[in-house]
């Protein structure tokens, strides 16, 4: 299976580069760009003209990955459907949000309550189905009660969807961090490696055009897809808690948002100049490239630290 995965990964990587290139041309011809948030840092004219919805290519390339993963012997067809159904369903929520933003020529699509409700619904349904057909191991060979497993899994799904989403604010930041997370999961997962190979091919192919200065953004469609993929590979790979170290940077980003909201509403003060935290450093004078590269390093260090800390507690990843 190793040679087959390598070949499939390379084919998908080059296909992703080609597909994103064609997709950029198509989007520009139709002037498909999303309105910039008025409360964010000031953006240059080029960013305002950069098309979004690059994550749609993730969803398209995920479909053949179901059959290829099965053909390569990485689990049954049901296993592959379960592996890819969460990122596809999650990406669908983001796609819905992106289309609403475009149709309204606004930076606001779904309301926060609508988006959260859809995320919770999708996460609960997927967790229940996976528990029914595969079982949810929190770590290899470690199982909790079905209800508790479903609740923990659903919580982590919603957390990752929003974590990746808020991280996606600078060129290459979310895509690069997701690639690092996928490489980590590949080292610990016992199954679903075809998903890792496909996910890496997609993110690196996208990063080819999303690195500074970005020619395309992934949109909520892409960030939701990647968040769902990281959780589904962790669960199908034999350890739900793999997603904790894999989500190191995403956790920091979403936590910075939560801290800022509490600080403003309770104490009427800001902790950060702006949240999520990458905007704080942007307003502090760091260049976009500096922030992205340093945050990738922080993400890698965070993964290693959380992994070693878990091992020290006797958690056998």
Task: Determine the Cα–Cα distance for residues 149 and 151; give it in Å rounded to an integer.
Answer: 5
Residue 47: predicted pLDDT: 74
Task: Determine the Cα–Cα distance for residues 182 and 156; give it in Å rounded to an integer.
Answer: 16
Coil, strand or helix at 143: strand
Distances (CA, A) of 79 to 130, 185, 273, 289, 314: 9, 17, 45, 39, 29
Residue 42: predicted pLDDT: 61
Residue 39: predicted pLDDT: 54
What are the pLDDT digits (tens) for 37-66? 655 566 555 677 889 899 999 999 999 999
Task: List the domain boundaries for the chain.
Answer: 2-312
φ/ψ of 137, rounded to 5, equals: -90, 125
Q: Is the pLDDT at 26 greater than 60, yes or no? A: yes
Task: Determine the Cα–Cα distance for residues 228 and 94; give it in Å rounded to an integer.
Answer: 11
Residue 30: predicted pLDDT: 82
Q: How much is the pTM?
A: 0.95
What are the pLDDT digits (tens) for 286-301? 999 999 999 999 999 9
Q: Dihedral angle at the C-alpha atoms of 67, 175, 38, 94, nearest 10 degrees?
A: 20
Task: Determine the Cα–Cα distance for residues 234 and 178; give it in Å rounded to an integer.
Answer: 13
CB 69 within 8 Å of CB 191: no
Under the banding of pLDDT at 50, 70 and 90, the label for residue 246 is very high
Task: Determine the Cα–Cα distance for residues 193 and 1; give it in Å rounded to an integer.
Answer: 10
- Mean residue pLDDT of the chain comes to 93
What are the pLDDT digits (tens) for 61-82? 999 999 999 999 999 999 999 9
């Amino acid at each position: 299976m190793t040679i087959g995965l390598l070949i499939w990964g390379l084919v998908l990587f080059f296909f992703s580069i080609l597909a994103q290139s064609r997709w950029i041309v198509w989007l520009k011809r139709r002037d498909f760009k999303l309105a910039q948030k008025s409360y964010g840092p000031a953006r240059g004219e080029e960013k305002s003209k950069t098309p979004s919805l690059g994550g749609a290519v993730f969803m398209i390339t995920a479909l053949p990955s179901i059959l290829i993963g099965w053909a390569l012997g990485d689990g049954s067809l049901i296993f592959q459907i379960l592996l890819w159904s969460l990122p596809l369903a999650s990406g669908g929520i983001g796609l819905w949000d992106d289309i609403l933003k475009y149709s309204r020529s606004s930076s606001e699509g779904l309301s926060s309550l609508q988006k959260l409700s859809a995320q919770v619904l999708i996460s609960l349904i997927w967790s229940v189905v996976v528990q029914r057909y595969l079982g949810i191991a929190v770590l290899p060979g470690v199982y909790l009660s079905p209800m508790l497993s479903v609740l923990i899994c659903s919580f982590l799904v919603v957390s990752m969807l929003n974590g990746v989403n808020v991280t996606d604010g600078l060129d290459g930041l979310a895509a690069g961090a997701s690639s690092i997370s996928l490489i980590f999961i590949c080292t610990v997962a016992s199954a679903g490696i075809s998903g890792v190979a496909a996910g890496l091919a997609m993110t690196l192919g996208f990063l080819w055009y999303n690195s500074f200065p970005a020619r395309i953004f992934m949109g909520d469609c892409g960030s939701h897809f990647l968040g769902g993929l990281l959780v589904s590979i962790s669960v199908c790979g034999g350890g739900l808690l793999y997603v904790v170290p894999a989500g190191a940077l995403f956790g920091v980003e979403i936590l910075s948002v939560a801290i800022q909201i509490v600080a403003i509403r309770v104490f009427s003060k800001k902790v950060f100049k702006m949240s999520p935290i990458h905007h704080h450093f942007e307003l502090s004078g760091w260049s976009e490239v500096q922030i992205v590269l340093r945050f990738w390093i922080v993400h890698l260090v965070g993964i290693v630290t959380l992994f070693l800390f878990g091992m020290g507690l006797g958690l056998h990843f």
